[in-house]
Amino acid sequence: MFRGSMVAIVTPFKNGRLDEEKLKELVEFHLKNKTSAIVPCGTTGESSTLSLAEHERVIELVVETAKNRIPVIAGTGSNNTSEAIRLTKHAKEAGADAALLITPYYNKPTQKGLYLHFKCIAESVDIPIILYNIVGRTAVNMQPETIAQLAREFKNIVGVKEASGDMEQMARIKLLSPKGFLLISGDDTLTLPLLSIGGVGVISVVANIIPQDTAKMIEEFEKGNIKKAQELHYKMLPLVRSMFLETNPICVKTAMEILGMCAPGLRLPMCPMDKENFSKLQIALKDYGLLRKKKK
């Protein structure tokens, strides 16, 4: 159910407010373009700049628009355990199929603290939970042993989105965790390598603009067409790298603006790209074939 190309969907804004109609359009776009799950209110969805009311509304809108045609994995993490429980309960009540919970940021909890945080949530809300490990955002790395312990002890902790960038760590999670525990890439550049060690897919940034190719790469790998999967990986790689010229989601939202997919709209402290990086992004979009090159 939670595998393949799962998009970390952006949150569109218009005049500083949530653009509800555009969000619904984007969900429909992914339904038509082979995305296998929608993940609202993650890092790419600028969850840290949403009010609690907006956060809940985004999840409600995505669930309502999806209409059970595609799984919805709601971002419900927080550095406040009580708030994470509240958001996760709301996601379940709204009809989300699972919750994605980032490790608590800023607090820098110990491994015991991480274990107790997720234990408390898993015992409070009966919904499939996917852990989200991204040390670059949170300043704390959840060790494979901690992840495996949570996976063994709580049946509703079903997987992890791994964005540590450490392939050895990801392999150790796979080795130590129960059979069927989902290992999901949190980094588009590592999706194919992760599939090779037993990963099931990606929660993707670049799928916001190239959902079919992201899905196709995973599909070809699963069919055993490794060469074709590799070709797609290397085709996508320069575009993927351009998504991180500046802090995510600045580049992907700018790309969507350039491609006419949504209006410009980032919330401070996210800000417009500098001119040099903007030019690099435009070149990457043109080279990929998403923008027509100007005739000389």
Backbone φ and ψ of 58, nearest 5°: -60, -45
User: Three-class SS of residue 80?
Assistant: coil
* Catalytic residue check, 132: yes
* Catalytic residue check, 119: no
The number of beta carbons lying within 10 Å of the beta carbon of residue 210 is 24
**Token pair for residue 107?**
């607090």
- Candidates 32, 89, 112, 161; catalytic one: 161
What contacts 15, CB < 8 A, 6 or more positions away?
A: none
Query: How far apart are alpha carbons 97 and 162 in whole angstroms?
Result: 20
Query: How far apart are alpha carbons 213 and 118 in whole angstroms?
Result: 34
DSSP string, 33-79: TT--EEE-SSTTTTGGGS-HHHHHHHHHHHHHHHTTSS-BEEE---S
- Candidates 132, 216, 253, 288; catalytic one: 132
Answer yes or no: are the C-beta atoms of 2 and 73 closer than 8 Å.
yes
**Token pair for residue 192?**
């194919």
By annotation, the residues acting in catalysis are 132, 161
